[in-house]
Amino acid sequence: MSTHAESGASPAEHDPPTTEHTGKHSKHDKAVEPAKTAPVTHDAVHGSRAGYTWIALIAAALLGIVLLVFIIQNLDKVRTELLFWSFELPLGITVLLSVIAGALVMALVGGVRILQLRHAAKKSL
């Protein structure tokens, strides 16, 4: 923005026009200024459950695509033995089943720990 001195114009040239009869500015001569609001910053915007759910669904879909590609590329049958069971499955399915089993064991251990912490919290109250 330039000031009156920088533009070389007198202050009167920048003032709104006056009415002929009163010499004062008319209320219709003033331009309507937009309402001033605080600038939106990153800190002012918080995520919502719907937003986080949407991101989780996108991540799960991408993971599912990668998993599907892995299974399709690893269709060679492998012989697997577990205790007294013996079976043949495609390698991709075998790896998928082992990952699911590991996640279930992790969830079981985590669930037991949560129950221990709840019991300790109730006991201390």
Note the pLDDT tens digit of each residue in 52-105.
899 999 999 999 899 889 888 988 898 988 888 898 989 888 888 888 999 999
Count how many domains the chain has.
1
| Most confident of the following: 2-6, 12-16, 103-107 | 103-107
Residue 65 covered by a domain:
yes
Separation between Cα atoms, residue 24 and residue 30, nearest integer Å: 12
* pLDDT higher than threshold 60 for residue 120: yes
pLDDT of residue 28: 55
> Range of 59's domain?
44-124
Q: Which of 13-17, 80-84, 104-108 is the least confident region?
A: 13-17
Q: Kindly tell me if the per-residue pLDDT of 106 is higher than 90.
A: yes
Which pLDDT score, from 0 to 100, does residue 124 have? 84
Asked if residue 89 belongs to a domain, the reply is yes
Residue 31 belongs to some domain of the structure: no
Task: Look at residue 59 in the predicted model and tell me its pLDDT.
Answer: 93
In a domain? residue 81: yes
pLDDT value at residue 50: 86
Asked whether residue 14 is assigned to any structural domain, the reply reads: no
> Is residue 35 situated within a structural domain?
no
Does residue 25 belong to any structural domain of this protein?
Answer: no
- Whether residue 28 lies inside any domain: the answer is no
